[in-house]
Amino acid sequence: MRVLHTSDWHLGHLLLDLPREREHRAFLLWLLEVLVAEEIDALLVTGDVFDGGNPPASAQAAWYEFLAEAHRRRPAMTTVVIAGNHDSPARLVAPAPLMAGVRAHVVGALPRRTDGSIDVERVVVPLPRADGRVAAWAVAVPFLRPGDLANDDGDAVNAVYAEALGYARAVREPGQAIIALGHLHVSGGEPSWMSERRITVGGIEAIGAGALGDDLAYVALGHLHKAQRVGSEHVRYAGSPIPLAMGEADYKHQVVVFELDGERATGIRALPVPRLVQLVRVPRVAAPLEDVLAALAELPEAGPGAERELAPYVEVRVRLEKPEPHLRAQVERAMRGKHARLVKISPELTGDRRALGDGPPPEALSELDPREVLRRRWRRDHQGDVPAAVMAAFEQLLREVEAVS
Ligand SMILES: [Mn+2]
């Protein structure tokens, strides 16, 4: 019985305004080949299938084409999908009746019965071998939103896992493995694993890895884009298959494959995802503008057959002593005709900003504290400062957003 764990695809993602369709398509074609070559019996997708709650048609098409083709190539394979915080739970689960036809089981919001208890039969999914015998049970807990939780005391997330795992432990027969799925922030490292320490992020509970129990064959996690183990070999974030930001360029993008030997996972290994489009920083470290322009001039020309969609993404890093009003125009001119796409320019000001006669350097919204943005916006649209009640509500929203992003 062989299992493949993948996560955080973010279909429909844009890198600034550049679509990632080609990279996603290449990944999905590669994954289809891996499913066959590795003779995968169960595919686990741990959330953030889509980048947003209302994904573009092309992203939805890629998803359904993948599921149909995966089923065609591996007809006995079971696919288990949970919603992440980027997915619309309702939208992800809407085609569930059709997806059952390709052996794909989707959990959007946490399903509950009318009495409020978790509908464990929809959360705990049997994973049969090719001969039909059940080898394992997948406990498919989606990203938990406040509405999914019975109460807001600190143990609500742990309580969901306890209830779902309790059912799996009750129905499994000796020799059958339990695999937990989750899309959440799990506190890392041995100490928290041992202590079951809980960390709370903005009122939403992050779960201590130890709370998931040590009778689990494997814990398949989604949410963090960097592939990593959490304390144990068998508790893993698969990470995203493509870099979703310039800062993720050096991550080891991968999927995880393992075998089930009775109740245990063995042979856990990462398969690196081939990189279709490179992310490069020019230069590697920020340099003065003339050096930057010289470095850009060295980039390869686009040539006749070059495909724009495959051109590397470039972040330009420039060191400036004073604001350079024509920076973008100069960079764009230097990149004209190159097999490269400008994603962003990161200026680094070295001079004493206040001494400059030509005003303060432009501020990037992303560098401002959100509270400061609210304050300035309020001052622009209203009289006076932000009322305390509004600021308190804003702080609450901020905590919730930070907890799920
Ligand atoms: Mn996520």
CA of 86 to the centre of ligand 1 (A): 6
Rounded-to-integer distance, Cα 240 and Cα 31, Å: 13
> Distance, CA 388 to ligand 1 centroid (Å)?
31
What is the mean predicted confidence (pLDDT) over 169-190?
A: 86
Stretch 366-386: mean pLDDT, rounded?
78
| CA 243 / ligand 1 centre spacing (Å) | 14
Both structure tokens of 180: 């937990």
Cα of 223 from ligand 1 centre, angstroms: 4
Q: How far is the CA of 211 from the centre of ligand 1 (A)?
A: 20
* pLDDT grade for 395, boundaries at 50, 70 and 90: confident
Cα(18) to ligand 1 centroid in Å equals 20
Model confidence, pTM: 0.82
* pLDDT computed for residue 359 by the predictor: 45
Beta strands per DSSP E along 88-231: 104-107, 124-128, 134-140, 177-183, 186-187, 199-201, 204-208, 218-222, 228-230
Cα 256 to Cα 263: distance, rounded to the nearest angstrom? 18
47 C-alpha to ligand 1 centroid (Å): 7
Is residue 166 within 8 Å of residue 137, measured between CB atoms? no
> What is the band of 143 on the pLDDT scale with cuts at 50, 70, 90?
very high
Higher-confidence residue of 393 and 266: namely 266
* pLDDT for 199 beyond 50: no
Q: What is the 177 CA–ligand 1 centroid distance (Å)? A: 26
Residue 356 has pLDDT above 50, yes or no: no
57 CA distance to ligand 1 centroid (A)?
21
Ligand 1 centre to CA of 363 (Å) is 28
Three-class DSSP labels, 356-371: CCCCCCCCCHHHCCHH
Cα 85 to averaged position of ligand 1 atoms, centre (Å): 5
Distance, CA 227 to ligand 1 centroid (Å)? 13
pLDDT value, residue 384: 75
pLDDT of residue 391: 85
Centre of ligand 1 from the C-alpha of residue 378, in Å: 31
pLDDT tens-digit readout, 207-219: 665 556 678 999 9
Ligand 1 centroid to Cα of residue 385, in Å, is: 35
**Structural fold of domain 2-272:** Purple Acid Phosphatase; chain A, domain 2 (3.60.21)
- Distance CA(263)–CA(164), nearest Å, equals 18
Return d(Cα 122, Cα 142) in angstroms, integer. Answer: 11
